[in-house]
Chains A and B, each alone.
Chain A
């Protein structure tokens, strides 16, 4: 998104993670704020333009450069505020007229878009702006540079260019860019500041509801992620347990024969499934059960060897959980 004049900074670099969008908007609205609030995220930006406490326009530019305005922009902003842990809020107070020009730039009517300067008569265009007593913004840019001229009633309010922090009265930079090869212009117009006062997005949108919905959605997302993580964890544990169970089964089978596998299955089932192999008390019961059954089938010497091997394998495997 293009740079905007900073005017009088009220807040800069406030951590978004600690803010609630409805609180911010209500605060700015109640304070009859005029200017704009700029939410800056890692790869997204949102600008909210206020005129005497009224939210006149909202613009949201996402990761892929896609822009949204109005209700969609507010929703996207709320969603990002809730879901991201980073981001900063800057609030700049501007004059009523300049705020109107910013609104024109962000949400006004686009009269010219990406017009190559060499193909149009700039002099005639400027006369048209003056004669039409236009309120708006003329943006002159190349691939590397950009400058803006803000108009009120057809007269320039000031000039702003990349690298500056505020508007200037000199047109030198704008003329320089206009002289560069491949320079283009965009022309945005808007209603007068007084007419703009009739618009207040805060009145037509239930920001609290948007925020609450985002919170709820985010919570659902987090719950879903947690659930998936737990499921993955459970899957890993169940896979490890299955491997451990098979290891135990093959040890008992080695000493007791094929019937040994049945003994393991029965003892595992009696002790509440293969999770008994990682629970100290239940493992003891399991081992005793296997030993008791094996005594009917295997010699004392082999039982001793089997039990030693079984205990060692179970304790090694258990340490991996």
Chain B
């Protein structure tokens, strides 16, 4: 516990606020998944997993590289499950078919995470470079699926326009825009190797040079954009689920 509080005090205040906001959003979305129809389960479980993926900063065992890698894999799984949920909702809007049950979604998610864990256990300890690669893959998937989800959400909104819940999907649209900016700016930094992880890697482990000095202004803007977009993402997810809960009450 002491270690946990020590980590909290060491964290960047922005990152701490972000984790707390994602914690709230995760709790709200998980609660939402319990009391609502099956189609919502994937969506809310996915958003809950974002909190788990973001919580590595406050994880007392976060220095274990395999665990750090696991956080990024959870993040990747999160957006995939969210996308699956929105696709299911879209299919429902077109066919009005509701199938499956919540337990399968919960179990399915746990099984995927167990497989990811097993994958990490049976493989060598990931190097900082590997962890950075995982983080980049996570960001890339988030960016692609956010764009896709924006389109799906637009289609869902068009299909259910006039219903109580339709405006809730506008809120989800805002959520995905925030996440897209957050993850997109992060990915931008990673692609051009301007991210902090790469800077740490080249400082400690390689003799490679970086052109970051030439683009410091751009890098700072991107870092700020990523930070605030991350904060807004957490706030928007929590707010959206509260709004959805109100709409469905």
Contacts and interface: CB of A to CB of B under 8 A. Distances in A.
Contact of B96 (A262, A298, A299, A301): A262
Given A292-B37, A299-B247, A301-B249, A259 B163 contact: yes
A260 B160 CA distance: 9
A252 to B, nearest CB: 11
Contacts, number: 52
B121 interface: no
A258 interface: yes
B208 interface: no
A302 B95 CA distance: 22
Count chain A CB atoms within 10 A of each CB in B96, B97, B166 and give the residue with the most: B96
B39 interface: yes
Contact of A296 (B37, B95, B161, B162): B37
B164 A296 contact: no
A298 B165 CA distance: 6
A302 B162 CA distance: 13
Contacts of A266: 95-97
A309 B152 CA distance: 33
A314 B142 CA distance: 48
Given A299-B248, A299-B249, A300-B249, A263 B164 contact: no
Main secondary structure of the interface of A (DSSP, over half): helix
A contact residues, range: 10 to 19
Contacts of B247: 299
A296 B165 contact: yes
B162 A259 contact: yes
Contacts of B97: 266
A297 interface: yes
Contacts of A260: 163
Contacts of A258: 161-162
Category for how many chain B residues contact A: 20 to 34
B160 A257 contact: yes
Contacts of A262: 96
B93 interface: yes
B160 to A, nearest CB: 5
Contact of A292 (B40, B98, B166): B98
B171 to A, nearest CB: 15
A302 B246 CA distance: 13
Interface in A264-310: 266-267, 292-293, 295-302
Given A259-B93, A301-B249, A302-B164, A296 B159 contact: no
Contacts of A292: 37, 98
B92 interface: yes
A256 interface: yes
Contact of A299 (B37, B89, B161, B164): B164
Interface in B205-249: 247-249
A292 B166 CA distance: 17
Contact of A257 (B36, B163, B248, B249): B163
B163 A297 contact: yes
Interface string B140-180: 00000000000000000001111111100000000000000
Contacts of A267: 96
B163 A256 contact: yes
Contacts of A295: 36-37, 248
B237 to A, nearest CB: 19
B39 A296 contact: yes
A80 B161 CA distance: 67
Interface of B: 36-37, 39-40, 89, 92-93, 95-98, 159-166, 247-249
Give 3 closest A-B pairs by Cβ, nearest first.
Answer: A257-B162, A257-B163, A297-B163
Given A257-B161, A293-B92, A300-B249, 19 more contacts: A256-B162, A256-B163, A257-B160, A257-B166, A258-B161, A259-B159, A259-B162, A260-B163, A262-B96, A266-B95, A266-B97, A295-B37, A296-B37, A296-B39, A296-B40, A296-B98, A296-B165, A299-B164, A300-B248
